[in-house]
Structure formats: structure tokens, C-alpha cells
Amino acid sequence: MENKYFTLNNGVKMPCCGLGVFQNKDPKLCEKSVICAIENGYRMIDTAAVYGNEAAVGRAIKNCGVPREELFITTKLWFADCGYKKAKKALERSLKKLRLDYVDLYLIHEPYGWVKNAWRAMQECVREGKIRAIGVSNFGIKELENLIKGAEIVPAVNQIELHPFYARKELIKYLESRGILPEAWAPFAEGKLDIFRNPVICGIAEKHGCTAAQVILAWLHAQGVAVIPKSSKPERIRENGEFFKVNLSDEDIVAIDSLDRGESLFPWDKGYKVPLRKTLGFFHLGV
């Protein structure tokens, strides 16, 4: 894979494409997938405390043979640890599991709990050299505006659900205006709605002599969005990493834009779990 980079709002360079490891729970398979990705040129890995695979990612980083400073490692703070002291402890736990002295990007996983206190802790960890860039995930415009008010550091990244069925143009525009990089989770909608056999996407793939997965990633990249496709299969990891060769026309982009349904495909984004998470957030004050 050819590596391309975005420059974050603090000057740190972040690869445009990385490997996601959500639901890659088997430690051996997860370690193998990360090593396979790195061997195929990936330099960014996206994990989270709540995925339960930071230790496997850590082993892969140690055994991959690529110097640490060439890699870009993202992990995330779970909402139950969203407080000042809890965030600091959670970062230490993640660093230990990952066998690292610092992470490249640390994200607040969801906008629940004592977000502002966690952010204060994360800002301090940046100054202490334990994190190179901080950001958020699953934040809407209101939540971002609230966080930015009074913050010393503006989030570098907002990692959000983003795929052809949920294109979120307004949020992307807002993020651009604030200098926050959008990063797509579930770029393939986790395979929902038969995305890999969608006639519009497959028609464009046929025209360009590439795969549906590559068309989707190229469409996101064309909008200035970072991508972290997940696969545990070597041939798919390779395939996904090769999307930079696909040059979509304006017409292709408009055709894919037309697939937007304007709503999340995942229940937690529709609010089913929000009251529960808000309540739990209170029980884990940790301020």
C-alpha cells in the first residue's frame, strides 16, 4: 500500500488509511491481522480499550519489525472512564497493554460521562508526551461546540459512522470549518444492506476495474476523510489498502452520494442505549 498522510491541526501527520480491529477478538487472529496489515504497508492501527484487543495489538507492534516511530496507533477512552482521574488511569492501562510509551491519537470514544474533565486530563497527557494528538468519536456539532468552549486544545479528529448509506455532509462541512479531521468508522457499513453488491457501487467498480470495497474507500478519501476498514483476511487487508489507485470522477461521486439514507444503521447511534449510557456515566464519576 502506498502511504498518504493528512496533517492534523497540531501538525502531526496521520495516515489516510489504517486497519480497524473492532470485533477482532481472537488474540492470535488480531495479532496476525495487524502484522499482515503492516507487512502490506499500513502504518495506522485503530483499537480501543473496550475492544479487548489492545494487548494483541501491542504484541503485533512489538513483533512486526517496523520501528515504533513509523507507526500511528490510535486507542480510545471508554465512557465509563470519562473523568479526570479515571482518564489518566485508563490511558496508563492502555499504554501498558499496548507496550507503548505514547499513543499517536487518543479519542474520547463516546460523548457521555465527564467529557470536559477527561479532556483536561488528556490535554495534560499531551503536554507530558504520552499522547501526540487528542480527539473524539461519535460527537455531533453541539457536543463538539460544548467541548471546544474553554478547551486549550481543539480536537484533531472526530471518528464517526460514515459510509455511502450515511454520508453526513453537514457534519463533515462543520468539521472542516473547525479544522477537525473526519475519520470514518464502519466505512463498509459492516457489510449491512448488502453494500458489497450494491448495483451503483459495483457499476462504478466495474468501470474502474477495481472492487466495491475500493470504490467505497476512494469515495471517502475524495472527501478528505480518513478510513480504518476492518478485515481479518489477508487478501482483503491487501485489497482495501490498494484503493488509492482508484480515481473517481465527479459523476461517480454524485452517484454514490445518492445512496445516502440520512440515518445511522447502528442502534446505539439512534439513541436506544443513550439513557443507559448516561446513567452509567454518572455511576463512574471519577472526577
- Nearest approach in angstroms of CB 233 to ligand NAP is 4
Torsions phi, psi of 2, nearest 5? -75, 140
Are 143 and 163 in contact, with CB atoms under 8 Å apart? no
Per CB under 6 A, 139 contacts ligand NAP = no
Least Cα distance to 51 among 90, 89, 22, 30 occurs for 22
Query: From the candidates 51, 84, 106, 166, which is the catalytic residue?
Result: 51
Instruction: Please classify residue 270 by burial: count the beta carbons closer than 10 Å to its beta carbon, then call 0-12 exposed, 13-18 middle and 19+ buried.
Output: exposed
Per CB under 6 A, 22 contacts ligand NAP = yes
Nearer to ligand NAP, 21 or 34 (CB): 21
The correct pick among 230, 248, 252, 286 for binding ligand NAP (CB under 6 A) is 230
Is 51 annotated as catalytic? Answer: yes
The correct pick among 38, 232, 248, 277 for binding ligand NAP (CB under 6 A) is 232
Are 2 and 244 in contact, with CB atoms under 8 Å apart? yes
List of residues 6+ apart from 285 with CB closer than 8 A: 83, 114
Distance CA 32, CA 19 (A): 12
The correct pick among 98, 213, 226, 248 for binding ligand NAP (CB under 6 A) is 213
Per CB under 6 A, 135 contacts ligand NAP = no
List of residues 6+ apart from 240 with CB closer than 8 A: 17, 213, 214, 217, 229, 231
> What would the DSSP string read from start to end of 56-79?
HHHHHHHHS-S-GGG-EEEEEE-G
- Nearest approach in angstroms of CB 14 to ligand NAP is 14
The correct pick among 72, 79, 139, 185 for binding ligand NAP (CB under 6 A) is 185
Q: Residue 240 is inside which H or E element, if any?
A: helix 234-241
Supply 199's cell numbers.
Answer: 448495483
Report the site for ligand NAP in 73-112 (rule: CB under 6 A): 109
Supply 124's cell numbers.
Answer: 495534560
Mode of pairing for the β-strands spanning 157-161 and 131-137: parallel
Per CB under 6 A, 53 contacts ligand NAP = no
Nearer to ligand NAP, 8 or 17 (CB): 17
> What would the DSSP string read from start to end of 148-187?
HTT-SS--SEEEEE-BTTB--HHHHHHHHHHTPEEEEEST
Per CB under 6 A, 175 contacts ligand NAP = no
Candidate ranges 20-28, 114-122, 141-149, 243-251; the one touching ligand NAP (CB under 6 A):
20-28
Candidate ranges 3-11, 57-65, 224-232, 248-256; the one touching ligand NAP (CB under 6 A):
224-232
Per CB under 6 A, 46 contacts ligand NAP = yes
The correct pick among 196, 200, 208, 259 for binding ligand NAP (CB under 6 A) is 196
Candidate ranges 16-24, 91-99, 248-256, 276-284; the one touching ligand NAP (CB under 6 A):
16-24
3-state secondary structure of 227: strand
Candidate ranges 19-27, 83-91, 95-103, 169-177; the one touching ligand NAP (CB under 6 A):
19-27
- Catalytic residue numbers, as ranges: 51
Footprint on this chain of ligand NAP (rule: CB under 6 A): 20-22, 46, 109, 137-138, 159, 185-191, 196, 213, 228-233, 236, 239-240
